[in-house]
Amino acid sequence: MRAAMTYAFGRIHGLGSLTWHKSEVNGRMVGNPSVSDTVAIYMTSLRRRKVRAGQTATSSRAITAASSAGHFYNDIIRDLYNYNHQPGVGDINSYTPGKRSAPKKDHEWAGGRARRLLQCTYVLAFLCLLRFDEVLKIQLEDIEFVSPICVKLTLPFRKTHQFGNVQPFYLYLLPEPLAYLCPVRALAEWLEVLEAAGVYDGYLFRKVGASDRISVDNEHMTSETFLEMFRNNLVDIRIFPAPYGTHSFRRGGCQWLYTTCRWGLRRICDWGGWSTDFSSMTIVKYLISYADDPQEKREDFMNPNRAPSVKCYTCGHSCHCI
């Protein structure tokens, strides 16, 4: 709410971002009314009152994946993959006009094409820690198959990189047990659908029309449409969808990389293109610094076939997950 007020006063009405204060020159109030001590105190007290009333704000719940121990308890992203690929649900059928009043089964809110689109967006957002407005605006020109087992994804811009200079993501073919998280398989399935629809350039994730038809117009799917389809997909696997939002995959991917893949904070920030300005955490400033040299090549971040690291003489491990 306060952010909307700050934007309206600052950008729309041209008042800037200066603190609301009394001018020493003419005695008039100047600056942005939303950026004031009075508003800050009110927002703090409002937050306390909402907490006491049981209305604590919560972030989007993370989408989960397999744990490092190999257990698949509440493995949502795998369950979505299995459901979207089961016979009778994920089948790609030719177009057949039907009656609007014809009754449909619960899973018929989406066809095989829409489900492949969803699965591809799930995987890219999860592994690359992307916002969904960034995922939905990916274009076919942003994807390059470096080899049969490696895909290079280069975004033209991001929220934190408005003028380009975005580091590419190198995504590799994962082993068969991790097929549900494999970006190469997901992209190959979706590109095959686009090729059959005659789409060879423009937005990667197009709108899906009636009868599971891919739109030929160069318009990407909106975040609102995606969120509705994502939550319908959660209902398919009997999960209450309300706690999940468009940041669920970004949050879940971060947790998966940290806990399951055992990536460090620096590596996650480098991979996701996140800011390393943690000024309130002194220890992090020692761990992450812009002056440090990269510890490994970017194209090897997700490469499962890279050469072993230096062997640890204490535990004997030479893999990169320790």
The pLDDT score that the predictor gives to residue 153 is: 95
Could you give all domains of the chain from N- to C-terminal order, each with its CATH number?
Answer: 2-52 (no CATH), 76-96+106-260 (1.10.443.10)
**Nearest CA to 252 among 268, 239, 237, 267?**
268
Q: Distance between CA atoms of 8 and 294, rounded to whole angstroms?
A: 40
Residue 150 phi, psi dihedral angles, 5° rounding: -140, 130
Q: Distance between CA atoms of 122 and 253, rounded to whole angstroms?
A: 10
The pLDDT score that the predictor gives to residue 231 is: 92
Q: Which residues contact 164 (CB under 8 A, 6 or more apart)?
A: 156, 157
Q: What are the 10-residue block averages of pLDDT along the chain, 322 residues in total?
A: 81 85 87 86 75 59 63 74 91 70 68 93 94 90 94 82 76 92 95 92 90 88 91 92 85 84 84 65 48 68 77 62 54
**Nearest CA to 272 among 298, 246, 248?**
298
The pLDDT score that the predictor gives to residue 73 is: 47
pTM beyond 0.75: no
